[in-house]
Structures are given as structure tokens and as C-alpha cells.
Amino acid sequence: MTENKIATIKDVAREAGVSIATVSRVINKSPKAGKASIQSVQSAMKLLGYRPNANARALVNKNSHTIGVLVNDIADPFFGSLIKAVDQVARENNKHLLIGNGYHNATDEREAIELLINSCRKSLIIHAKALTSEELIGFAKEVPGLVLINRYIPEIADRCIAFDNFKGAYMATEFLIQNGHKHIAFINSNHQIDDSFERKAGYLQALKDHNYPSPDNYIVAVDVNDEGGKAGMIELLSKNIPISAVLAYNDFIAAGVLFALEENNIAVPEQISLIGFDNGLISRYVHPKLTTINYPIEIMAKQATLLSLKLAKNEEYTPDTRIFSPTLVKRMSVGKCNLKD
């Protein structure tokens, strides 16, 4: 380091071989900083002559005007709706957003949260599916305004805004059963996350409660997009099993199902009924318009943001709802069963 160059936090991180977020934790004496990290960072600071200064303190004040948001993938319209809702509340409170992608991967989620903590410090809205509950509890202890959305952890229940995925899939399956369907397939997400587990469980429980069989060959797991839905439907058709209805993990998968059925001259809902999940924008513009399960992500995101801002200020706030319930949106893709047993 030359004499006329002032060391920065980036220089310290590079010298210590750690992330900027780790350096920040050491400087701020966070309990998340491990002994080895503390030792290497302190050694690097001493070697480089780095001292936390007025600029660093000014950054802390600046960070009080930001809200961090972690989503799976910003390119997914579902998470675009989440971010837009958070931004609306943020703007009303003179805040700006910083956004990270986690891609349902533990390493990506962890690194994104650490960077958001370093940048935002007080308010975080976290959609994390791959990290353990223990890690998220630890982050919640470090950040006063950390709120989990679409996840429920009993130990930090007051920081959670969640959705009843089980009930949604149960409701969708039961609606198909009420329309006379017995041979109901389920095209699930191939992500190993609680949403896919809970929706599968709801589907199976509805079949069980109505004394209908639930053979494994009626369930496939695919990528969570229209191409995945198309591939899943083709896989089901290739099995040559009787199918009168399909429940899709989300509306984009359902759109792919529609495409596959159209290619094979199978009419919806006359020959196969179809129900989606989420009530995203696409559900209203495919043909036929999708019957689906409404997932009130915008309302949930606004509640989560208000809760985060109140917690960051150490103010009392009780959300109207902590676990949101699904509702059925009836359109044109479900009809009475015409398949003979």
C-alpha cells in the first residue's frame, strides 16, 4: 500500500481473503463474525493502516434510507410483483430498494443476505428457501427489521409473513373432484423447497379424503416455467394413463400444459380440465383463461415491508394477517368430467 493511498474496506477484504460483508461485521462487532475472520480482518486492518472513519459513519446513516429485498429471481413475474409492492411502501416512507437474487441456492442466498446487511443494516425483506431455519434465525438476531416472506419459522414467528400452500393445493384438487374428476395429475416444481412439498401434500390429502387413489405416475416435477409445463404434460400423455384433469404448480407451468394439449388436439376443458396456481397476469391472457388459486403476494409484500420498517424503529406493530389464505378464482379452464372410468 503506497503512502498516499488511503486503505478502503475493499482493500481490507482483499488482504484478509474475506467478503466485504465479513469485514463490516468485524468492524461492527457482529456476533456473526467468527474468531478466524476477526483475527484475519484485524491483521489486515493493522497492516494497511485502515481505520473506520467519518465516511463509514456517514454510510451507516445513508443506509437507514434503504430497504434490502431478496427474491428467488427478479426475472420471474411473481417476484416482480413482490418487489413492486415493497417499492410502493418504501417510496411512501422515503426509502429506496436494494435487490438480491437467491436462486433457491443456499450459497447465493447467504451471500446476497450478507451484502444486503452490509448495505441496508436495518430493514430486509427476505424470500429464502434454501437456507436453514437456524441460519435465518441468526440473521434475524443481527438485523432488527429482517422479515421473512413466504416462510414460517416458529422461533421467529413475529418476523414471518407466510401463505398456506397446503390449503391452496387442497382447494384446487377438491374443486376438480367436485366437478367429477377422479384421474387428476399434478405437475409440480422440481425445486426442493417447502412450497412444492406443501402443494404436493395438499393435492394428495384431498385425493385421500375423497377415497381416490394417488399413484406416483400421476405426478411429475419440472422446471417452473412454460417449457417445464409443456414437457411435464407430454411426459404424462406418453404414459397412456387416463387423465381428466391437471393441477399445475403455477400459472406458467399451466400455460405450458395448454400449449402441449393444443399441439396434441386435446381440448381444454372439454377433454382435460386444468387449474393453475398464483393468479398471475398470464392466467388472464391464455386461452382458455385459467381457473387458478389466488396468491396475494402484493398484499403480503406490503405487510412485510410495513412490519420491517416498524421493527427497524423498535416500534410496536401487529400485521392484520401473518399467514394468508388462498382463494379460488374460477375462469374457463375447468369443466365437468367426461371421462368414463
What is the rounded average pLDDT of the residues 51-67? 58
C-alpha cell at 283: 392466467
Delimit the domains of the chain by residue range.
9-52, 63-164+297-325, 165-296
Band of residue 20 on the pLDDT scale cut at 50, 70, 90: confident
Tallying the residues shown for the chain, one arrives at: 341
What is the rounded average pLDDT of the residues 330-335? 98
C-alpha cell at 93: 416512507
CA-closest candidate to residue 212, choices 236, 184, 179? 184
Q: What is the per-residue pLDDT for 59?
A: 45
Q: Which amino acid is at 191?
A: H
What's the longest Cα–Cα distance across the chain?
85
Contact between 63 and 38 (Cβ < 8 Å): no
- HEC secondary structure over 248-291: ECCHHHHHHHHHHHHHCCCCCCCCCEEECCECCHHHHCCCCCCE
- In whole angstroms, how far apart are CA 159 and each of 41, 48, 143, 219, 311? 32, 40, 11, 34, 9
Average per-residue pLDDT for the chain: 91
Of the candidate CATH numbers 3.30.43.10, 3.20.20.80, 3.40.50.2300, 3.30.70.360, the domain formed by 63-164+297-325 belongs to 3.40.50.2300
- Over the stretch 90-109, which tens digit does the pLDDT of each residue have? 999 999 999 999 999 999 99
Q: What is the per-residue pLDDT for 52?
A: 67
Query: The domain at 9-52 falls in which architecture?
Result: Orthogonal Bundle (1.10)
Residue range 165-296 forms a domain whose CATH class is: alpha beta
- What CA–CA distance (Å, rounded) separates 1 from 6? 8
